[in-house]
A and B are shown apart, each in its own frame.
Chain A
Amino acid sequence: MNITIYDIRHAYDVFNNVIMYYVIAISIAFVVLSILASYAMNKYKRRNGFVDYRAILSTELAPGISIIAPAYNEGNNIVENVRSLLSLHYPDYEIIIVNDGSKDDTLEKLIEAYDLYKVHFAINYQIETKDVRAVYKSKNKAYSDIVVVDKENGGKADALNVGLNISREPLVACIDVDCILAHDALLKLVKPFMEGDRKIIATGGVIRAANSCEIQAGEIKKVRLPTKYKVRVQVLEYFRAFLMGRMAWAQIDGLLLISGAFGMFDKEVAIRAGGYDPKTVGEDMELVVRMRRLMHDEKTKYRVAFIPDPLCWTEVPETWKMLGKQRNRWARGTIETLWKHRRLCLNPKYGVMGMVSIPFWILFEWLAPLIELTGIILYTIMAVFGWTNWTYYISFFILVYCFSVMFTVFAIWFEEETYQQYRKPKYIVILLFTTILEPFVYHPFVMLSSVKGNIDWLRGKKSWGEMTRVGFNSNKKKEATPSTPTD
C-alpha cells in the first residue's frame, strides 16, 4: 500500500476537523454545566435562606455521625488535628482515627495527649482489611467519643474500611485528618440526608485551598489568596470543579465524585457496596460509582447530593513536583474507575450516570489531555513540513484561549455570588491575571502530568507516590505520606 503526501494531508485535514468538533463539544458541555450550576446555586440559596442549623443541636433527632480520619506519619500535627475535630458543632458524633501503620510517633502522641488505653474491641469485619493491632479509647470522659485504631499499613482505602467496620453510627464522614473543617460542616452536610425525597447515599461540600490562610487552633481565621502562582491557579481550579462542575452534576443527579478530603456517606450502603477499593488510587470516585451502581442494580431511588458551602480547607501542592505527582495520581484514579466500570458507559439501565456522566468523564476528563497532546505533536510535525496554516492555527488557539478565560471568569463570579471568601479587592485583580496566565504555564504542565498518569496506568503503576506537605503555619517540611496521603 502506497501512502502518498496527499493521503497524509487528507488525514491531517480529518484530524483538524476532529479536533474542531471535539473543542466545540467540550465547550458546549462546559457552557451547559455552568448554566446548570447557576440554576442549582440559585435554588440552593433560595431554599436555605434563614435556615437555622442550630435546631439540629438542640434535638435528639439528628442522625449520629462517625468521622473516619486515616493517619499516616502525621505525628507533627495529629494532636492539633484531633483537637480541631473535637470542636465541631454536632450533637452526636464519634471520631475514629485510624493509624495506618505510621513509622513515626503518631500513635504515641495520641496516647499521651488523649490519655488513651487499649480496650477489647470486637470488630465486625464486614469489609476485609489488613490486621488491626489494637483499639484505644480515652480514660478521660471529655474524650469519650475518640476511638483510635492501630493497624498494619494498607493504604488510605484500607484504613477507611477499618473505620467503616468499627463505626457505630449510620452516617460516616470520611476526611483527611489534616484538613480544616468549618465548625458547622457536619450540620450542613447532614441536612441533605434528612430532607431527601429519595434516599441520599452520599453528600459532599466545597473544598478550598488553605495555603497562605491564617490558621489558629485548627480554625481558619483569615482567608488569604495564595501568593504562589501555581497555588492560585489551583484556587481557580477548585472554583471551577466545585462551584460549577459538581453543583451542575448534582443538579442532574450525575455526580460521580465526592472528594476524599471530606465527604459523608450512608454507611450501610457503603458497606453493602463493598467499601473502599484498596487496589485503586482513586478510591473516592470509585466508591461513589460503586454505591450508585448498587442502587441502580437494586432499583432503589437514590441521590448523591452536593452543597456549595465551603466546608473543608486543605493544603494544595506548592511545588511543581508535588503537583505533578498529584495530577498523575488523579489521572490514574479516574482511568482506573472508568475502566473498572466501563460497562456502565451508555448503558440506559444506569440512568444519567451511564448515559451522561461516564461518557462525559471518558471523553472530556480521561481523553482530553491525550487529544490535546496529540494535537500539539501533530501541529508541530505539520509545521516542520510547512503544511501548517498558521492563520487558522492561531485563530483557533485564540478561540480556545478566550473560551477558557471566559469560563474561569464565570467561576470567579460564582464564588463572588455565593460565599466571597476572597474579600480584598486586590484579590479579584490578582485572580484575573492568574486566569489570563493559566493556559501558558500551568495548564501544559497539568496536561503533561495527566498524560504521564495515563502512561503509568498502562504500566500498571499503583502507588500514591510520596507527598510532601509544607504544613499549616509552618515552614518545616513534613515527612512524606506514601500510603495514606491526604489530598
Chain B
Amino acid sequence: MDGLVQLFHAFFPALDSDVLIMNTLLSALFFIIAILSYYVIMATRLIKWLSNKPKVIKEAINYITSELYNEEISKAARKDYAKKNLTSRFLKDIYVYQCVELHKSLSGELAQDLKQLFADLNLTEYAMDHFHSYDWATKANAITVLAEMEYKVAREEIILFVNHYNITLRYKAQVAAVALAEKEPFDFLQYINKPLNEWQQLQILNAAMNLKTEQLPLFSNWFQHKEPTVIVLCIKLANHFKQYEASEKIIEKCADPHYDISLQAIIAVKQMGIYNAKGLLLDIYSILYTPHQLEVLEFMPSIGDEDSIDFLKNIAHTGDFRHRLLAIQALLSLIGNKEELILELQSDDSELEEQQLMINHVLDNSTI
C-alpha cells in the first residue's frame, strides 16, 4: 500500500490528503473494472459471432433431417461425420440439443431413426460422459437428454439419484426412471424418502402419460407409503388413469388425517365419479377442512339424492358464501321443482336478497 501511495504522489504531487488519494485510487479501480467488464461483454459477443452459432445450428438441422430421410443408412459414414464435424463441446452441444428438441415432436419409426442417429454420432457416449460429471447441473441435463433419447441402459445408474440431496437432479432422475423403464416404471417409488413437490409430481405424471397402458401399475399399491407426498402422487396418477380398481382404497383415503392426501382423495372421488363414496363423505363432512368440504359440495349434484336435501338446505342457510353457493347449486340440480325450492330458500328474510342473487347466479348456466 505504501508503495502505491508513493507512486501516486509521484504522479500527483498536488494531492496529498489521504482521503484524496483514496478517492482517486478507488475511482481508478471502479473505472478499470467498468472498462474490463465492458471489454468482456464485447469479447463474449465477438466470440459468439465468430462461432457462427446460427450457421452451425442450420447445418445441424439440415444434416439430422437429411439423415432421417436417407434410405441408405451408413453407420460408418455417420461416425466419420461425427469425427470430422463434432470436434468440440460447443458443436456437440448443438447437435445434442437439436436431436432432443426434434425427438420431442417425433414418434414411431422416425423417432427410432433419430435415436439411432444420436447413437451413431457418438452423442449417447457424450451424454453418458456428462452424466458421470461431478457437477449436478451437468448430470441433471445429461439425464434429461438420456431420458428423451430413450437410452434405457442408463436407467439402472440414474435410479440411484432419485433421493439425491439436490432437488433438480432428484426430480430429473425420477422422471427418467419412469421414461426409461422396460417393465416397472414406478419401482423407484418404494425408495423415495424425500417429499415430492407439485412440480415433481406434474413431471412424473407427464412422463407416465407416454407409457403404454400395460406398463402402468396399480397405483394404490403405494397408498401405504411412509412419504405422504408419494401417496398424493399415486392418488393423482390413479385419478388421471381412471383406475377404478383402486376406488375402495381411494375412498378410504378421503378420511385420512393428512391434509393433502384427503384432499386429493376427495378430488379423485369426484373426478372419477365414485358414487359409493357418498356415505363416508357425508359422515365426515363436518370434520373436513374448508377446501375439502367445497370439493364434497361440488360433487353433490352427481351423488346427491332425496336424503341429501336436508343436509344441503342446512348448508344453504348457514354456511359461508362459497358453501351456500355450492349447496344451492347442488339443490337446484337435485330438485325438479325449482320454484318451490326458491320459495323455500327465500323464507329467511334477512338473507333474501343474497339468496335470490345466488339462485340467479346458479340458474345462469354461464356462471356456474
Contact = CB atoms under 8 A, between A and B. Distances in A.
B17 A392 contact: yes
In this complex, which of B136, B322, B360, B366 has the most chain A Cβ atoms within 10 angstroms of its Cβ?
A: B366
A91 to B, nearest CB: 11
A302 to B, nearest CB: 15
Interface string B72-97: 00000000000000000000000000
A428 B321 contact: no
A332 to B, nearest CB: 33
Contact of B202 (A61, A135, A144, A416): A61
B276 interface: no
Given A59-B240, A402-B31, A405-B30, A391 B141 contact: no
Contact of B41 (A59, A62, A391, A413): A413
B45 A413 contact: no
Contacts of B19: 20, 392, 395
Interface residues of A, number: 47
A120 interface: yes
Contact of B206 (A47, A59, A137, A432): A59
Contacts of A391: 14-15, 20
B198 interface: yes
Contact of B140 (A49, A137, A410): A49
B361 interface: yes
A120 B141 contact: no
A399 B28 CA distance: 8
Interface string A378-399: 0000000000000110011011
A188 interface: no
B363 A120 contact: yes
A250 B27 CA distance: 30
Contacts of B45: 416, 425, 428
A413 B44 CA distance: 10
Contacts, number: 132
Contacts of B236: 61
Looking at chain A's contact residues, is the secondary structure mostly helix, strand, loop, or mixed? helix
Contacts of A413: 37, 40-41
Given A49-B141, A197-B197, A122 B30 contact: no
A191 interface: yes
Interface of B is mostly: helix
Nearest to B21: A395
Interface string B242-283: 000000000000000000000000000000000000000000
B98 interface: no
Nearest to A57: B206
Interface string B152-168: 00000000000000011
Contacts of A395: 15, 19-20, 23-24, 27
Interface residues of B, number: 56
A61 B34 CA distance: 47
Nearest to A192: B199
A409 B37 CA distance: 7
Nearest to B28: A402
Nearest to B35: A409
A60 interface: yes
Contact of A398 (B23, B325, B354, B361): B23
Contacts of A196: 197
A121 B367 contact: yes
Contacts of A194: 197-199, 202
Given A47-B168, A119-B364, A391-B15, A61 B27 contact: no
A124 interface: yes
Given A195-B199, A197-B197, 8 more contacts: A55-B202, A59-B206, A61-B205, A63-B198, A191-B199, A402-B30, A409-B37, A413-B41
Interface of B: 14-15, 17, 19-20, 23-24, 26-28, 30-31, 33-34, 37-38, 40-42, 44-45, 49, 100, 104, 136-137, 140-141, 144-145, 167-168, 197-203, 205-206, 209, 236, 240, 321-322, 325, 354, 357-358, 360-361, 363-364, 366-367
3 residue pairs, one from A and one from B, having the closest CB atoms: A120-B360, A402-B30, A195-B199
29 contacts: A20-B19, A49-B137, A52-B206, A55-B203, A59-B202, A61-B202, A61-B205, A119-B366, A119-B367, A121-B367, A122-B354, A122-B358, A137-B366, A191-B199, A194-B197, A195-B198, A392-B20, A395-B15, A395-B19, A395-B27, A399-B24, A405-B34, A406-B33, A406-B37, A409-B34, A409-B37, A412-B38, A413-B37, A425-B45
